A and B are shown apart, each in its own frame.
Chain A
Amino acid sequence: MADRAVQISPAFWLSLTIVALIGGSAAMVALRADSFALAPHDWAALRFTVLQASLSAGLSGLLAIPTARALFRRRFPGRDGFVRLMAAPFVLPVVVAVLGLLAVFGRNGPLNLGLAALHLPEVSIFGLQGVVIAHVFFNLPLATRMLLHGWQAIPAERFRLAQSLGMPPSAQFRHLELPLLRAQLPGILMMIFLICLTSFAIALTLGGGPKASTLELAIYQALRFDFDLGRAALLATLQFALCAAVTLMAARFTVAQGFGAGVASHQVMDGPSGWRRGFDAVMLAAVAVFLMTPLLGVVVKGVPGLQDLPAGIWYALLRSVAVALLSAVIATAAAVSLAQAVAKGQKWTETVAMLPMAASSLVLGTGLFLALHPFLRVETVALPVTVVVNATLTLPYLFRLLLPELRQIQQDYGRLTASLGLPPTAALRYVVLPRLARPLGYGTGLAAALSMGDLGVIALFAGDSGATLPLLVQRLMGAYRMEQAAAAALILVGASYALFWAFDRIGSHYADA
C-alpha cells in the first residue's frame, strides 16, 4: 500500500486549508473582539436571530408535513411538475424571491389591496413576519422534499400490509408515518434552523432596524457603516459560537437528502378519500400559490423594465458568472476529493467537509476582512474573496450529494480498479468521473446557481463599482427603483437557471451505461 500516502494527500491538504480558513476566521474575530460584554442591541440581535430562525424552522416543518404527505399519497396531473417546483427555490437567488414577495405582500401588492377593499388592516412584509415568510418560502420546499424522500423510503409492502389489515388512515399515520417523522423531522428542523441563523440577504432586505436585525446583518452594519472592527469581531464570534453549537447538535441527527436529483414517483398507492382528499388538494394548491405568485410577480414587474436596464448590469452579470463558475468548480473538485477520501475509509475527512456548516458568509467575510485590510484595499479582492467563501459554504451540500454516489462506485469498482493497478489520476479519469457524471453535473450546476445568486460576503467587500448582479439588484431596491430591480432580477434568475441547466445537461450527456 505504498501509494496510499500519495493518494490521500490532496484531500489532506484540502482539509488543512478548510480548517485553516474556518479556524483562522474564528480565531481572527475572537482575537479582535473588543470585549465579550454584549451591549443591549447586541442581545437584541442575538434574540431576533434565534427567534426568527425558530419560527421559520417550525413553520416550514409544520407546513411541510401535510404537503409532503399529500404529494406522497396523491397522483394527479402535474405532480412531477409540483415536485420539481419544490426544488426550484433552493437555487433561487434570495434577492429575486424578496422582490417577488414584495410584489405580492407589499403595500401595493394584491394581498394588501384585497385586505384594504375588505377594510381590513394592512399586513407588512417587513420586520419579523417578513423575514419568517421569506424563510418559509425557501425552506418549506426543502423540508417537503426531504420528507417526501423519507416517505418514499417506507417499503410499499408495509402500506399494503396496513391496508390489508384494514388500518384506518389515523392508525397508518401512527404506526408507519409517525416513526418516520420522529426519525427525520428533528434533523430537518435543525438544518433549517441553521440555514436561517446565517441568513443575511433576507434580513438585509426585509429586516433591519434595531428590532429586526440578525447577527449577520449586525456584523455587516458594524463593519460597513460604523467601521467598528471590534464590535463586528465580537458579533462574528457570537455568530460562530452559535452556529458551531447548533451544527454540533445537528450532527447527531440524520438528515435525508433533499437537494439530490429528482425524487422518483415509483410508489403508487391510493390515498384515503373523503374530506382528506379535499384537505390534500387545498394544501397543495395553497403551497403552489404561495411559491408561484412571487415568481410571477417578479416576471410581471420585471418584463417592462427590460427595456430600461440599469447601467453596469452586463458587467455585474459577467462578474457574477465568473464568480459562480470559479467557485462551483473549486467546490466540486474539493467535494469529490474529500468524498472520495471518505468513501475509501478515511472517516475524519467527513467532519472537515461538514465544518463549513458552522461558518457563515459574514463570519468568514469578517475574518478575511480583518486579515486583509491592514495590507490592501479590500474592494480590490472582493471577487476572489467571494469565490473562496462561496466555494467553502457550498462544499457541505456537494459533499453530501456526492458521498453516497462515490461510496457506491467504490463498492462496485474499487476492487477491480485496484486489481488492475490504476493509479489515482487514471482511476479518476476512467472510473470515477464517468460513473459520477450525472450527479457531478447536477452538483456543479447547483453550486454555480447558489453562488450566482449569493448575496453575502460580496456586500461586505464590494466598492461602489464591482458589484455582482445580486448586489446590484439589492442596491436598486434600496434606491426604490423597483422596476429596474425586477428586470435585473429576471436576468439574474435566468442566468442562474441557465448555469444550472447547462451543467446538469453536460452531466447527463457524459453519463451513460
Chain B
Amino acid sequence: MLTLESLTLRQGSFSLTADWGAAAGEHIAIIGPSGSGKSTLLMAIAGFLPPASGRVLWLGRDLAGEPPGQRPSTILFQDQNLFPHLTLAQNLGLGLSPTLRLSSAQKAHVDMALQRVGLGGMGARKPGQLSGGQQGRAALARALLRARPILLLDEPFAALGPGLKSEMLDLVAEVASASNAIVLMVTHDPNDAKRFADKTVLVANGIASAPVPTANLFANPPQALTDYLG
C-alpha cells in the first residue's frame, strides 16, 4: 500500500498537493496539462524531491530520507533509461546488483529477462544498436529484474508510435503482474489511460486528485479535464 499523506510538493512558486493511496496491483494513469506537476509527483515518490510537508508512506513506513535506489520503486524516465556505454546485459545487471558483481545465477536471470521482453541473445549489444522500442523493452526488462512493488512511468514511451506504444503497455502490464506491482503512469494520451489504467488521477490547478475509476472519469469529466481535453 502506497500512501500520500497530506503531501505538499514545492518547486519555487509551484506547488502541488496530494492526499490518497494506491493498493498493490492497481494500474493508475496520471493525466493533466503539461506543467501541472505530473512528473513532479513521480519524482517525489521516487525520492528525487523531498516533500515540503506531508509524507510518502509504503506499508505505513515513512520513506523520507530514503535514497532513490533503496526505495520500493522503479522509475522509467522519459529518456536516458539506459547507459549508452554499457551493454544490455550490464544495463540489466545493474538492476540486480548496483555494483555489477553478478553470480552466474544472476547472469542467467538477466538472460531470461531479455528473453522475456523479446530481446533474447542481445545481451552483448549496446543501446545505440537498438531501436527505440527495443530500448524501452530493455528498460522494462530491468524493471522486471528489480521487481520493486511500485513501478513509476514518466512517459518513457512518448516517443514511440501508437502501435509500438500499446505493445509496450501490454509488456508493462505483464512486468507489473509478475510482482503484483502498483503502476503509476504519467500520460498525455487519454487512450493510454482508458486502455491501461483501472483508475486515473487528474492533476490540475495544484492538486493531484484521488484516483477514480477511469471509465467514470471520462464518462463524467470534471471541468479541469474538459478544459484539458478541449
Contact = CB atoms under 8 A, between A and B. Distances in A.
B68 interface: yes
Interface in A401-454: 412-413, 415-416, 418-423, 425-426, 430-431, 434-435
B94 A430 contact: yes
B75 A419 contact: yes
Interface string B63-82: 00101111000110100110
Given A412-B80, A513-B85, A513-B126, A426 B99 contact: yes
21 contacts: A1-B65, A1-B67, A3-B67, A413-B83, A415-B68, A416-B83, A418-B67, A418-B68, A419-B46, A419-B69, A419-B75, A420-B69, A421-B67, A423-B98, A430-B83, A430-B86, A434-B83, A434-B86, A513-B84, A513-B126, A513-B127
B146 to A, nearest CB: 8
A2 interface: yes
A512 interface: yes
B37 interface: no
Contacts, number: 64
Interface of A: 1-3, 412-413, 415-416, 418-423, 425-426, 430-431, 434-435, 512-513
A513 B128 CA distance: 7
Contacts of A2: 65, 67
A420 B74 CA distance: 8
Contact of B74 (A415, A419, A422, A426): A419
Contact of A426 (B70, B77, B80, B100): B100
A423 B81 CA distance: 18
B95 interface: yes
Contacts of B228: none
Given A1-B65, A2-B65, A513-B85, A420 B95 contact: yes
Of A418, A423, A425, which is in contact with the most chain B CB atoms at under 10 Å from its CB?
A418
Given A3-B67, A434-B86, 8 more contacts: A418-B67, A419-B69, A420-B69, A421-B67, A421-B98, A430-B90, A513-B127, A513-B128
Contacts of B83: 413, 416, 430-431, 434
Contacts of B46: 419
Interface in B83-121: 83-86, 90, 94-95, 98-100
| A-B CB proximity, top 9 nearest | A421-B69, A513-B84, A513-B85, A434-B85, A418-B68, A426-B99, A422-B98, A419-B68, A421-B98
A426 B90 CA distance: 12
B119 to A, nearest CB: 18
A430 B87 CA distance: 11
A418 B84 CA distance: 16
B90 A421 contact: no
Interface residues of B, number: 26
Contacts of B98: 420-423, 426
Contacts of B85: 434-435, 512-513
Nearest to B126: A513
A425 B97 CA distance: 13
Q: Which of A3, A419, A425, A513 has the most chain B CB atoms inside 10 A of its CB?
A: A419
Nearest to A412: B80
B165 to A, nearest CB: 21
A430 to B, nearest CB: 6
A346 to B, nearest CB: 17
B68 to A, nearest CB: 4
B48 interface: yes
Most chain B CB inside 10 Å of its own CB: which residue of A1, A2, A512: A1
A431 B91 CA distance: 11
B14 to A, nearest CB: 19
Interface string B38-78: 00000000111000000000000000010111100011010
Given A3-B67, A421-B69, A513-B127, A415 B86 contact: no
B80 A416 contact: yes
Contacts of B69: 418-422
A409 B115 CA distance: 30
Contacts of B90: 430
A419 B98 CA distance: 10
B179 to A, nearest CB: 17
Contacts of A512: 85, 126
A434 B77 CA distance: 21
Contacts of B81: 416
A421 B128 contact: no
Contacts of B70: 421
Interface in B24-48: 46-48
Given A434-B86, A513-B126, A420 B67 contact: no
A420 to B, nearest CB: 5
Nearest to B129: A513
Interface in B120-135: 126-128
B94 A415 contact: no
Contact of A415 (B65, B77, B95, B99): B77
A417 to B, nearest CB: 8
Nearest to A431: B83
A512 B128 CA distance: 10
B100 A415 contact: no
Nearest to A427: B98
A106 to B, nearest CB: 52
Contacts of A430: 83, 86, 90, 94, 100
A423 B99 contact: yes
A415 B94 CA distance: 14
Most buried by A among B77, B85, B90: B85
A413 B68 CA distance: 14
A65 to B, nearest CB: 40
Interface in B138-176: none
A408 to B, nearest CB: 11
A418 B128 CA distance: 22
Contacts of A431: 83
A415 B76 CA distance: 10
Contacts of A425: 99
A321 B75 CA distance: 48
A512 B87 CA distance: 12
A414 to B, nearest CB: 9
Contacts of A419: 46-48, 68-69, 74-75
A513 B47 CA distance: 29
B210 to A, nearest CB: 26
